[in-house]
Amino acid sequence: MRLAGYLTGVMGTGEHSRQLAAALRTQGIPVSATTIHGPGALEDESLAPPDDDAAATADRFAAVNLLCVNADSVAMVAEQLGPDFFRGRYTIGFWAWEVSAFPERFIGAFGHLEEVWVGSRHVRDAIAPHATKPVIAIPQPVSMTPETEHAPAPSGVPPGFRFLFAFDYLSVFERKNPLAAIAAFARAFPPEGGGEASLVIKSLNHDHNPAAHERLRAAVAAQPGVHLIERRLSKQDRDGLLASADCYVSLHRAEGFGYTLAESMWLAKPVIATGYSGNLDFMSADNSFLVEHRLVPIGPGGDPYPADGVWAEPSVEHAARCMREVFENREEAARRGARAAADIRASNGPEAAGRAMADRLERLEADGALRGRRRARSGGLLGRLLRR
């Protein structure tokens, strides 16, 4: 199989593509890797997965492309890759999307593909009613190395009990909703409490939204227990930040999947999160602390999400109660964290996700969808040219 994505990108879509490659390899499916460079994206060449070009060219799924870019970027990336990338091949898109409404302007992206894979039922249910091609929910693969559990905390992380939330401004500030996490923490741990706990907010790409950045900095400045980390972290420091947290908190308004939630669960951390959207594929009241919410209009200013769509407004009051519960009842928090680690491995570990993808590819092969597709041998050369 030939997989194209932001394989060196320091962003969620980059991690998605790297995890997909690893999951396919658990099923003995070699991957010929083509790196796409996103405009303005942070990149780390050390993140690139190995390239099984020779083996992939001879594999029975060699005529399949897996294009790991979202609907809004398909046309641009297709132009960059050129027609030879698609000619005579069965191209599958792997898309992320977050809200229940899917914009009509993205429908043209289906024209470059034979089908679309998505990482949760929430995304499938949003896209499928508008689709002109099949939309298949595939478990989004998640894995972390054993070394991550013991990675040291980066500098600047406060001592004591730590709540953590991490987000990228490019993922839409209002959707990620960091101000709600700060408000909930302030209710749960008012300053007069004497620093019982801290909340660490890790952000990326604040220069892309200066107005939101100022709002966040003002909220942080008003709460002495909240600490903001804005610098770029190495992979080791990022792993250490996750490993050093006592609880992960996400009061998102919508998630297509929720990668940092799943990673924290992998590390057996208790996770507090809005009980809405794609994270419900792997989160439950047994393995997490789900925050109550109501659905509200997205409204203007939430681009690329349609103003007439809806997303969640999580309860700050309930989130604060969850924070106190995790802090005060460590035994129950640890129990849910252990259950979370077992559940996420079973539902979204590389083997589970790899099996789901292999099953779908085998069904396509059995149904004759791959018959007559040429086994293109230009993938390795194209990938090397794009990586220059």
pLDDT of residue 50: 80
Question: What integer is the mean pLDDT of 185-209?
Answer: 92
Helix, strand, coil % in the chain, rounded to nearest 5 = 45, 20, 35
pLDDT of residue 45: 76
* Chain Cα centroid distance, residue 91: 22
Is 60 exceeded by the pLDDT of residue 387? no
Query: And the tokens for 382?
Result: 């194209």
Q: Which residue has the higher pLDDT, 68 or 48?
A: 68
What percent of the chain is predicted at pLDDT more than 90?
A: 78
pLDDT of residue 46: 73
Query: And the tokens for 19?
Result: 């995890």
How buried is 223 (Cβ within 10 angstroms: 0-12 exposed, 13-18 middle, 19+ buried)? Answer: middle
pLDDT in tens, 269-297: 999 999 999 999 999 999 999 999 999 99
Strand partners, 198: 162
- Average pLDDT over the chain reads 91
What percent of the chain is predicted at pLDDT more than 70?
A: 95
Question: What integer is the mean pLDDT of 329-345?
Answer: 98
User: For residues 209 and 172, is the Cβ–Cβ distance under 8 A?
Assistant: no
Domains of the chain listed by start with CATH number: 2-141+349-387 (3.40.50.11930), 146-347 (3.40.50.2000)
For residue 41, what pLDDT band results from cuts at 50, 70 and 90? low
